[in-house]
Amino acid sequence: MQNSDKDKTKKATPKKKPRKTHSGPIRDKARTKGRLVEAVGKVIKNKGYAALTGPNIAKESGLHKKLIWTYFGGIDNLVEEYLQQKDFWRVAEKEVIQELMEAPEEIGKNEIYSLLESQFKSLLSDELLRKIIHWELEGENKVLRKIADQREEVGEQLFKIIEPEFLNVDGVDLRATLALQIGGLYYMALHAKSNGSTSCGIDVNEEIGEKRVLNALKEIIYHIYNKAKVKK
């Protein structure tokens, strides 16, 4: 009888229902902002950056255009947020660069090559990133200039670490050499992906062409390190 009574007691005890989770205003706000930022990329990809208007962004996001001003204060700020998220130096390699900054003594030719290799491959694979670079080249834009200046600031942080060992070395200009490499990588990637053409007969749309360019990049970086007798 006692066991039976205990069983009845157990059965009579109501089970606690799992607490319902509500998204809440903070999560809703983050989700809405994310949809608007994502919509910027869709507009650029489908219609081009000239089409970055409130109605177009609203249509792509499925939200009312007034939310652009509610959460971002305007289209420029929204576009800047999107560009901050897409920029290579500030996002794709952010963790890598932070790690290098924390261990500056370990930054050598292999690390510099890896950064430029990643940048080149990102340009070849990311259509939206290429569109942004094209946009930068088309004319003055305060948002794009701000992003470019921030990108330069990241580069300066790296130069402050690696450049001292190259100063006063005859025949070695680290900054100019890397500037030429970066400019060349940008040009070849943008040119090849825009119209499928080659550069000096090399097609970086093909794996063999990409490898040839990266091999040459490594050779040049190794050369200036060896010439400056920097053993890293």
What average pLDDT does range 112-135 have in this prediction?
88
Domain 26-82, CATH number (from 2.60.40, 1.20.1260, 1.10.10, 2.40.160): 1.10.10
Confidence class for position 226, pLDDT limits 50, 70, 90: very high
pLDDT band at 198 (very low <50, low <70, confident <90, very high): very high
CB 185 within 8 A of CB 116: yes
* Domain range summary for the chain, segments of one domain joined by +: 26-82, 88-227
Asked if residue 16 has pLDDT above 80, the reply is no
Please count the other Cβ atoms lying within 10 Å of the Cβ belonging to residue 8: 10
Mean pLDDT on 33-56: 90
Judged on CB neighbours under 10 Å (0-12, 13-18, 19+), 183 is exposed
Residue type, 93: E
When pLDDT is averaged across residues 102-121 and rounded to a whole number, the result is: 86
163-179 mean pLDDT: 91
Q: Of the candidates 49, 100, 97, which has an alpha carbon nearest to the alpha carbon of residue 75? A: 49
Cα(40)–Cα(58) distance, integer angstroms? 9
Burial of 201 from C-beta contacts in 10 A (0-12 / 13-18 / 19+) = exposed
Percent of the chain past pLDDT 70, that is, above it, reads 84
Residue 11 is encoded by which pair of tokens? Answer: 């059965």
Predicted confidence at residue 80, as pLDDT, reads 86
Over residues 151-175, mean pLDDT: 88
Comparing 223 with 146, the larger pLDDT belongs to 223
Q: How far is CA 212 from CA 8, 125, 216, in A?
A: 79, 17, 6
Of 74, 47, 31, whose CA–CA distance to 128 is shortest?
47
Instruction: Please say if the pLDDT value at position 187 is more than 80.
Output: yes
Summarize the confidence of residues 195-203 as an average pLDDT.
Answer: 93
- Looking at residue 229, its pLDDT comes to 92
Asked whether residue 44 carries a pLDDT value surpassing 60, the answer given is yes
